[in-house]
Amino acid sequence: MPKEKKTVYTLCVDNYAPEITEITFPFMKRYAEKIEADFHVIDTRKFPDMPNVYEKFQIYDLSVEHKNDWNIFFDADALIHPDFFDVTACINKDMTISNGTDFVPHRFRPNEYFKRDGRYIGKGNWLAIFSDWCRDYYKPLDIPKEEAIADIFPTVAETNFGISPCHLIDDYTVSRNIARYGLKHMIVPDFDATGLTKGLLAHQYLMPIEQKVVYLEKTLKEWKVSL
């Protein structure tokens, strides 16, 4: 059987927080090497009228250009333990993966796709894994930006931190795609009933950049891992 083609993607446009990426990117590269994947940083804008976070949907076309069997995305501020496993080795190509799940009506107005699907799977979108079979997981919106934003309601914690509805448009788009295309979905904790792999990913988004740096450095000390 030929070796599967994999690419680990991250997003870093407008020179996002180099004090963070100098910590996180080496571990993403290490993970890519471990699972025999390419590493690709999306660093140019292709959707200038959309929020920066929406640029990750370039992967919909990049995955074809790169001829990937598997696409793995991490936010630029995500930290990956060297022991984190190759999720693609544990699933069939009809499954999509994230790290956690929300309840759609908690953050988004349920539309006809969510209601028809009935699972109400709401995504945080800092980790995404999907194959060429499930490229629709990252299909860009087919509705106006304004229509999508009108259906997004940040939580109180998000609002208090300054998160606006447009900042969550990537979460909404992926959640909508799961429902629209009936995609199968799992979360990383579902893989390990023993709990041995718990805590091998670190990510906090409701935190200023300076605090994130402290958080990441503290996490590395707790992991007893160095760059």
Q: Where are the domains of the chain?
A: 6-218
Residue-wise pLDDT tens digits, 127-182: 999 999 999 999 999 999 999 999 999 999 999 999 999 999 999 999 999 999 99
89 has pLDDT over 90: yes
1 has pLDDT over 70: no
194 has pLDDT over 90: no
Domain spanning 6-218: CATH 3.90.1300.10:
no
Cβ atoms within 10 A of the Cβ of 105, count? Answer: 12
What SS3 string covers the chain?
CCCCCEEEEEECCCCCCHHHHHHHHHHHHHHHHHCCCEEEEECCCCCCCCCHHHHHHHHHHHHHHCCCCEEEEECCCCEECCCCCCHHHHCCCCEEEECCEEEHHHHECCCHHHHHHCCCEEECCCEEEEEHHHHHHHCCCCCCHHHHHCCECCCHHHHHHCCCHHHHHHHHHHHHHHHHHCCEEEEHHHHCCCCCCCCCEECCCCCCHHHHHHHHHHHHHHHCCCC
